[in-house]
Amino acid sequence: MDNRVRSTKVAVVGAGLVGSLEACFLARRGYEVHLFEYRDDIRLLEHVPGRSINLAMSIRGRAGLKTMGLEDKIIKNHGIPMVARMIHNKDNTIKSIQYNKDGKCIYSVGRRYLNEELLTKAEEFPNVHVHFCHKLLTADLTKGTMIFLNTKTKEELHVEADLLIGCDGAYSSMRKEMMKRPHFNYSQQYIPHGYMELCIPATPDNEFAMPPNYLHIWPRGKYMMIALPNQDKSWTVTLFMPFEIFDELTTPEILLDFFKENYPDAVDLIGRDKLVRDFFANKALPMISVKCSPYHIGSTSLIMGDAAHAMVPFYGQGMNCGMEDCVVFDELLELYNDDLSQVLPAYTKQRNPDAEAIVDLAMYNYIVMRDLVNSKLFLLRKKWDDLLSSLFPRTWTPLYTMVTFTRVRYHLCIANKEWQDRVVNKIVKIGGILGIGLGILLTQTQAVHQLSCTIYHHISGLASKTLALATQ
């Protein structure tokens, strides 16, 4: 480890999921790291049962944990595998749709547990110094100076560092400083939906109230619910709907009627009284989508994670993308030999197209889910994708598979999807005639008869369903 790195002081703002992981990455390379966090140390706060919030973790997030030697501990010991989605219909029927036929799955991980593990890991490095209860007030991004408020003593702390990294989340103060500078592009969008977290408790005999290894979804178009399993056998349920509708649910009667109509099975799972209590004790929270560029100023300042690219949660990728940011930044530090004047611009150049791609994909999926009235279309899209990927396993990878189960750059996931759409459009155009012709032709050959019958059956079934839905 060279002296240049060792004598470089980095101030990381925000000890959330990305900031605490980034502190580990920098410490591993030998930097002197100061991690500043507005909140108190979450490890000192008491654990309230039924208050846990969880996240879907996939390969991109795991890549970051792996480098820090935390992957097995967090995924294998704590994560709850989700091998499929479980779709809940209005008539109380359920149906599962697997994620991946190779057995790949995603994991439900507690946000707080994950953050605690990352903080503890960071503190294991002698060159990491964590400062809780420190709120960033202002920063001079070119000079490398910052002013923090110590929320306990109310004193101001002036800090100087060679590199300032903002990992301070969707409403980032570091980003606000960047916005004061010329050539900084910024756009944000609030969606009309809000979210509220509810809880399905464990059963009296301490079991999961629903099959545990699934991401449960109640798709209802404008309203949607998602549930992820917790270690204590409860479920965190997230209700998504327009703020207007949250506002209309003003009394326990109206609320219960709404739930009985839309989520009949969930009423019993949550419990009527608990549902009423929790709903009126909570409030719906907003969701914001943010794009900006560049992510750096000169060789002194950088933003990462939600600070640089907050996204709506409809792809389960916000944290995964933020943790992948840390991996990408580390790779560039290695490539440019820790020369920050080269690394920072290279990071913006490489990461901006990918971050904006997943911000777009998440927003697009919000619109898709919102307009999806029942699970039929969802299933149908999936069946087309599955048919094509089983016919051409190497060339046809469904979009969510690329996003969730590979580390293919996000912008290339979109490029691939656009290519697939062009192919599908062509198939649809000429497919009707050619498909039937091909079907007849194939059935002539005895050896492929069985196979082609199966394929033909799939295609004709799908085609008629697609037609039926399209003409609905």
Q: What is the four-CA torsion angle of 418, 83, 89, 240, rounded to 10 degrees?
A: -70
Residue 106 interacting with ligand EGU (CB under 6 A)? yes
User: Which residue's CB atom is positioned nearest to ligand EGU?
Assistant: 316
CB closer to ligand FAD, 55 vs 297: 55
Q: How far apart are CA 224 and CA 219, in angstroms?
A: 5
Binding residues among 55-74 for ligand EGU as defined by CB under 6 A: 55-56
Residue 377 interacting with ligand FAD (CB under 6 A)? no
Site size for ligand FAD (CB under 6 A): 31
Residue 343 binds which one of ligand FAD, ligand EGU, none, with CB within 5 to 8 A depending on kind? none
Identify the residue among 23, 136, 328, 344 touching ligand FAD (CB under 6 A): 136
* Nearest-approach distance from CB 137 to ligand FAD, in angstroms: 7
Q: In this structure, is the dihedral angle defined by the CA atoms of residues 307, 309, 310 and 316, taken in order, positive or negative?
A: negative
Residue 284 interacting with ligand FAD (CB under 6 A)? no
Q: Which among 284, 308, 97 has a CA at the least distance from the CA of 186?
A: 308
Binding residues among 353-372 for ligand EGU as defined by CB under 6 A: 365, 369
Burial bucket for residue 185 (CB in 10 Å: 0-12, 13-18, 19+): exposed
Do 23 and 15 touch, CB atoms closer than 8 A? yes
Residue 306 binds which one of ligand FAD, ligand EGU, none, with CB within 5 to 8 A depending on kind? ligand FAD
Residue 226 interacting with ligand EGU (CB under 6 A)? yes
CB closer to ligand FAD, 172 vs 262: 172
What residue spans of 372-409 are helical by DSSP H? 375-391, 399-405
C-alpha distance from residue 155 to each of 15, 132, 185, 361, 362 (Å): 20, 13, 34, 43, 41
Length of the chain: 472
C-alpha distance from residue 222 to each of 134, 215, 216, 322, 359 (Å): 40, 19, 17, 28, 20
Identify the residue among 306, 330, 354, 356 touching ligand FAD (CB under 6 A): 306
Which residues are paired to 214 by β-bridges? 84
Residue 164 binds which one of ligand FAD, ligand EGU, none, with CB within 5 to 8 A depending on kind? none
Residue 319 interacting with ligand FAD (CB under 6 A)? yes
Site size for ligand EGU (CB under 6 A): 18
Binding residues among 302-331 for ligand EGU as defined by CB under 6 A: 313-316
Residue 404 interacting with ligand EGU (CB under 6 A)? yes
Residue 375 interacting with ligand EGU (CB under 6 A)? no
Question: Mapping DSSP to helix (H, G, I), strand (E, B) and coil, where does residue 131 land?
Answer: strand
Do 217 and 225 touch, CB atoms closer than 8 A? yes
322: left (phi over 0), alpha (psi -120 to 50) or beta: alpha
Residue 312 binds which one of ligand FAD, ligand EGU, none, with CB within 5 to 8 A depending on kind? none
Binding mask 179-208 for ligand FAD (x = CB under 6 A): ----------------x-------------
Q: Edge to edge, what strands does the sheet with 156-160 contain?
A: 134-140, 145-150, 156-160
Residue 128 interacting with ligand EGU (CB under 6 A)? no
Residues 6+ apart with CB under 8 A from 307: 14, 166, 167, 168, 169, 170, 172, 174, 175
* Nearest-approach distance from CB 317 to ligand FAD, in angstroms: 5
Residue 89 interacting with ligand EGU (CB under 6 A)? no
Instruction: State the helix-helix crossing angle for 17-29 and 59-67, rounded to 10 degrees.
Output: 40
Question: Mapping DSSP to helix (H, G, I), strand (E, B) and coil, where does residue 221 land?
Answer: coil
CB closer to ligand EGU, 36 vs 99: 99
* Residues lying near ligand FAD in the complex (CB under 6 A): 13-19, 36-39, 55-56, 135-136, 167-169, 173, 195, 238, 305-307, 313, 316-320, 322
* Residues lying near ligand EGU in the complex (CB under 6 A): 55-56, 85, 106, 215, 217, 226, 228, 238, 313-316, 365, 369, 400, 403-404
